[in-house]
Structure 1
Amino acid sequence: MPKLDISLQEEQKSFEVEVAAIEKQWAAPRQSHLKRPYNARTIAALRNSIPAPSAASSTQGVKLWNQLRTHNENGTCELTFGTTDPVAVSQMAKHQQTVYVSGALCGFSEVALPGMDHADYPWDTVPKVVTKIFKSQLWHDQRQRQFRLRHSVEEREGLENWDYLAPIVADGDMGFGSLTSTMKMAREFVEAGVAMIHIDDLAIGMKKFTIGQGRTIVPTSEYLDRLTAVRMQFDIMGSETLLLCRCDTDHSEFITSVVDERDHEYVLGATKKVGPLQKHLKDAQAEGKDLKAARNEWMESAGLKTFDEAVEAVASKEELEAYTAELSKQKFTSLSTRREIAAKTVKQDVFFDWELPRSSMGQYLFKSCVKAAVERAVAAAPLGDVTWARMDSPVWKDLVEFHTEVRKVFPDRLFAFGYTGDYDFAKAGFSEEKVKTFHLDLAKMGVVWQVQPIWSLQGLNLVTEQFGKLWAEEGIAGYLRAVQGPALSTKPMTDGFEKLSYCGGYLADAFFETVAGESITERGRALDFKRH
């Protein structure tokens, strides 16, 4: 096998140049807000000998970064929606600055076996959809560019000129496995041309958004490791791809482990001496009882509380004040330390057992709240560029609290927000006028990127059903009246197959003409005429 013919001095010199380039990139305005637990020398040593294919993702990432910063300066926001269809994406270019590729949509329409929003599809599913969409964007960009350049400068004034290269934001879910799996997924995204991906703190294999109780998060430390793995992969590739730190702590019911003391404040335990939940459920099953009813019965009998709540339940006012004062001396306090403080400040014993409520899969019960979400978001922020707290209901005071508290630590933080398909604004106390300005009110707090993630499932299904009914009832007459007529009469004409500038007819001509030696630009044809 041939050896590389390079001196040790040249190898070291090349390495030092690489290190300097990395440090310069990290110090630039685009990345200066990031804090990494590793240094540039480590990343330089992890790189390939030839540059990684990250140019397109970097270009789109910087473009998105500038868009979001501009929105933040102006108090405005980008409103986009989720789709997996390149045809839909081509029309989004006329109104949206970005495109969102949802994992839920991909798992529903882009896999061999569709499913609900459980992230149970292969880890490269979403990157493949990004590849498909980005290639379609490049095609539209190419065919529009050559079509425009067929015309004179004066003629181009009246031609369409859409920015088809809208940055793609994609769903990385929880990373799909070990840190190396997360890194591989991140690499696939970069090679696909993505502008930003988001990684959440949900437990792998336990995602249950759409089937009732059971949302499970991982310890804060595991969440940060995921984000670090993605950031590291981006750095290894030298990409400017953005990382969106998504926190799904709100409305979570379980946490997989209590290994991180930062989470101990929110773990629930039994405050009454009862048997384990799992034994209670097994006994109920053996007796043919309803398991949900049995679970609720046990929870009520167990007196579920956090440890601080358990202290509050037995302490006097003075004892509680002394306990709280001791807690405030430390930023994060483990359960064992909390027990020690309680033993010193509270006369009565505090019974608290967080093992008794554990689930059949070993999860601990978790009490979600805005404070917990804020703490995670603050811990994650130095690793990413944008923050997103998934909230299942539009509770305005919670939204204000979250974004305000994070910005107390990071004043210039950029935020994202996702609207679920069944938000009940009326139930949450919003007037019609307040709903109309909801996105603008969020934008004032720095929520610069807002998305309806699953438009295709609601919007496209609704439109398709309506057209299907029309077609079945009226046939071609209905089509001419409701679709073809209006499309052909718009100015400019709505994109369709009969519109050669959109469907690529002129681009195909350009290929044939170029192979034949003809010029396709207006000036080029004039020069060819003079030569001949």
Structure 2
Amino acid sequence: MPKLQVSAQDEQKAFEAEVATIEKQWSSSRQSHLKRPYDAQTIAALRNTIPAQSSSSSTQAVKLWNQLQEHNKNGTTELTFGTTDPVAVSQMAKHQQTVYVSGALCGFSEVAIPGMDHADYPWDTVPKVVAKIFKSQLWHDQRQKQFRLRHPVEERDGLENWDYLAPIVADGDMGFGSLTSTMKMAKEFVEAGVAMIHIDDLAIGMKKFTIGQGRTVVPTSEYLDRLTAVRMQFDIMGTETLLLCRCDTDHSEFITSVADERDHEYVLGATKDVEPLQKCLAQAQAESKDLKAAREDWKKRASLKTFDEAVEAVATKEELESYKSEILQEKFRSLSTRRKIAQKIVKQEVVFDWELPRSSMGQYMFKSSVKAVVERALAAATLGDVTWARMDSPVWKDIVEFHTEIRKVFPDRLFAFGYTGDYDFGKAGFSDEQVKTLPWDLAKMGIVWQVQPIWSLQGLNLVTEQFAKLWQEEGIAGYLRTVQGPALSTKPMTDGFEKLSYCGGYLADAFFETVAGETIVEKGKALNFQRH
């Protein structure tokens, strides 16, 4: 192995130049809102001696950033949906500015063993789908450009000219393991050409759907470490890739640990002298009783409360006011501090045990609220570019409260919003008219990117089932009437194999023509040049 012939002085000069480049990028209008817990020298020392491959991701990220800023300025929004199919993406280009790649969709259609969204698919699954889609976007961009240039300048205004390079927003879930796993995944996303990824605060391996229990989040500190790892990886690669900070804290029922005092206010404890929940459930199982019913009965007997609620239950009005006044002197108070304050002020004993409700996997019970989500989102904001609070139900007052509170601290904050497939707007009190105007009402609060994540399941399945039934009942006659006939008669013709400008026929010809030495460009009479 040859020894590098570089002097220490030259090495130091190169290092200092790298540091200056990083600091300049961080002070740009694109990144000046970010705050890192590390400095430019640290990142420069972590970089390779040759630049990482991130140009496509940076280009797409800056494009997305400008789109979102324009929406924010105008009070408008981007409405997109989830898919994993490059063919579908080629049609989205005519209406959507962005493409969303959902981890849940990838878990159904892009893995060896499909399944429900437990985020248990390989960590590189979604980056590979992003790479597949981005390559298809580049191909469509290439064949459209060449097709247009086959025509004289005078004719090109009449030709289709779509922006096939819609920035891709992708689901990074919870980072898939340790911080190094999160970094590797972020690196794969950048190399795949992604514009933005989102990282959430859910606990790995604890997603449950059918036993009447909600989701589990990690401590605030662990969530921030995930985001920091992604931001660090982006910085090491020198990319402009956007980071979307997603909080799934809303309606969460569990938290993995109480390591961070910022979470203590929302942890539930038993305020009655009862046996541990695990012992109760073990006994119910041994007696073949319904575990869900046993669990609910135990929660009632335990009289679960947060510590502050436990204080309120036994304190006098004056004691409670004094307790709250002292608690509020600092932003975050640990449980031990809360106990000391209560012991000093409240005459009665405050019974509170957050160990008794712990699950068999060690989770603590958690009482989520808009305030809890706001606190997490604020703590994460300076590490990312956009904020998303995942909400299980469309409670308008909660939506307004969250986004209003965040903008009190960060007035220009950009937000994302996701519509789940089973939102019951009627049950939430929305009128038909309110549902119609909802996307634009959200836009007024800075929610500039809105997504329906599961179209590729719900929407595509519906259409496919309808056509399958038609094809079985009517055969080719039904196809001609409902698909081929309408598709061929549209102006311009609907994209398909019959449309050479779309399927790449002219691009393939251009390769052969170029090899043969033929020209593949028409400039028009006004721009023709003299050949010599």
Q: TM-score, normalised by structure 1?
A: 0.99
- What is the 5 A alignment of 1:14-163? 14-163=14-163
Alignment-derived partner of residue 253 in structure 1: 253
CA-based RMSD of the aligned residues comes to 1.3
Alignment-derived partner of residue 498 in structure 1: 498
Alignment-derived partner of residue 403 in structure 1: 403
The answer (yes or no) to whether the contact 1:53–1:237 under 8 Å persists in 2 is: yes
Q: Aligned partners of 2:210 and 2:250: how far apart in 1? A: 15
The answer (yes or no) to whether the contact 1:272–1:301 under 8 Å persists in 2 is: yes
Q: Aligned partners of 1:523 and 1:473: how far apart in 2? A: 51
Q: Aligned partners of 1:158 and 1:64: how far apart in 2? A: 28
Q: Aligned partners of 1:106 and 1:37: how far apart in 2? A: 33
Q: CA deviation at 1:531?
A: 4.2
Q: CA deviation at 1:528?
A: 10
Q: Aligned partners of 1:214 and 1:397: how far apart in 2? A: 21
- What is the 5 A alignment of 1:58-457? 58-209=58-209, 212-457=212-457
The answer (yes or no) to whether the contact 1:167–1:194 under 8 Å persists in 2 is: yes
- Identity over the aligned pairs, expressed in percent? 85
Q: CA deviation at 1:70?
A: 0.3
Structure 2 residue matching 1:437: 3-state secondary structure: helix
Q: CA deviation at 1:214?
A: 3.6
Q: Structure 1 pair 507/210, CA: closer, same or farther in 2 (3 Å)?
A: farther
Which region of structure 1 is more displaced relative to structure 2, 226-235 or 487-496? Answer: 487-496
Which region of structure 1 is more displaced relative to structure 2, 148-157 or 221-230? Answer: 148-157
* Gapped regions of structure 1 (runs ≥ 5): none
Q: Aligned partners of 1:190 and 1:58: how far apart in 2? A: 8
1:87-139: per-residue Cα shift (whole Å, max 9, x none)?
A: 00000000000000000000010000000011010000000000000000000
Q: Which amino acid aligns with 1:103?
A: G
Q: Aligned partners of 2:96 and 2:500: how far apart in 1? A: 23
Q: Structure 1 pair 248/210, CA: closer, same or farther in 2 (3 Å)?
A: farther
Q: Structure 1 pair 211/90, CA: closer, same or farther in 2 (3 Å)?
A: farther
Q: Which amino acid aligns with 1:437?
A: T
Q: Aligned partners of 2:413 and 2:530: how far apart in 1? A: 58
Q: CA deviation at 1:466?
A: 0.6
Structure 2 residue matching 1:274: 3-state secondary structure: coil
Structure 2 residue matching 1:30: 3-state secondary structure: coil
1:482-515: per-residue Cα shift (whole Å, max 9, x none)?
A: 0011111111111000000000000000000000
Q: Aligned partners of 2:123 and 2:211: how far apart in 1? A: 22
Q: Aligned partners of 1:142 and 1:209: how far apart in 2? A: 44
Q: Runs ≥4 in structure 1, deviation > 4 angstroms? A: 524-532
1:55-106: per-residue Cα shift (whole Å, max 9, x none)?
A: 0000000000000000000000000000000000000000000000000000
Structure 2 residue matching 1:275: 3-state secondary structure: coil
Q: Which amino acid aligns with 1:108?
A: F
Q: Structure 1 pair 377/527, CA: closer, same or farther in 2 (3 Å)?
A: closer
Q: Aligned partners of 1:211 and 1:480: how far apart in 2? A: 47
Q: Aligned partners of 1:320 and 1:384: how far apart in 2? A: 38
1:175-231: per-residue Cα shift (whole Å, max 9, x none)?
A: 000000000000000000000000000001112256641410000000000000000
1:341-361: per-residue Cα shift (whole Å, max 9, x none)?
A: 001111000000000000000
1:409-448: per-residue Cα shift (whole Å, max 9, x none)?
A: 1000000000000100000000000000000010000000
* Gapped regions of structure 2 (runs ≥ 5): none
Q: Aligned partners of 1:124 and 1:24: how far apart in 2? A: 32
The answer (yes or no) to whether the contact 2:93–2:163 under 8 Å persists in 1 is: yes
1:4-26: per-residue Cα shift (whole Å, max 9, x none)?
A: 11111110000000000000000
Q: Aligned partners of 2:306 and 2:67: how far apart in 1? A: 43
The answer (yes or no) to whether the contact 1:117–1:208 under 8 Å persists in 2 is: no
The answer (yes or no) to whether the contact 1:519–1:525 under 8 Å persists in 2 is: no
Q: Which amino acid aligns with 2:64?
A: L
Q: Aligned partners of 1:491 and 1:203: how far apart in 2? A: 50
Q: CA deviation at 1:530?
A: 5.9
Structure 1 residue matching 2:475: 3-state secondary structure: helix
Q: TM-score, normalised by structure 2?
A: 0.99
Q: Aligned partners of 1:493 and 1:531: how far apart in 2? A: 37
